[in-house]
Amino acid sequence: MKPLGIHSVKPRVPRARPVDREGQEQAALMREIELRYPEVFELIYHVPNGGHRVKAIAAKLKAQGVKAGIPDLVLPMARGGYFGLYIEFKATVEPAPVSISQKDSLRRLNAQGYLAIVCRGHFDAMEQLRAYLLLPATVAA
């Protein structure tokens, strides 16, 4: 007969929660934009296409128009002959690679007259944004 209550169960080792470095850096970028360029902050927005979702929710969002590869940030402010700026944001620390769908999306947006770029981290994104804002406003004919 086996003694009751004695089992050779291995203790469960808790896993550390993954850190969303990209999200943290992007939030810091948005805060700096809010402080330095309030008129830009009013227009720029994040496209929440990424992240892990339950399959049913992912299917629902896809049916509503969510598409893989769309850049993270959109600034509908025309400058330098471009119609607007799209930024695919990557973290500085542990950056994810630019996926094929992201590369394809950037290419398609550039072909339509937008400036669509990849920025690696908060400081790169601010530098690119500053350069974009220095371009003369695009005037519709």
The dihedral sign for the CA sequence 134, 117, 59, 65: positive
Question: What are the chain's domains?
Answer: 21-134 (3.40.1350.10)
Q: What is the mean pLDDT of the chain?
A: 89
Quote the pLDDT of residue 6. Answer: 58
Instruction: End-to-end CA distance of the chain: give it in Å, rounded.
Output: 91
How many helices and strands (H and E) does the chain possess? 5, 4
pTM: 0.83
CA angle 42, 133, 123 (to 5 degrees): 85
Going by pLDDT thresholds of 50, 70 and 90, the confidence category of residue 59 is: confident
Of the candidates 65, 84, 82, the residue with the CA atom closest to the CA atom of residue 74: 84
Tens digits of residue pLDDT in 120-141: 999 999 999 999 999 999 987 7
Of the candidates 120, 111, 103, the residue with the CA atom closest to the CA atom of residue 83: 111
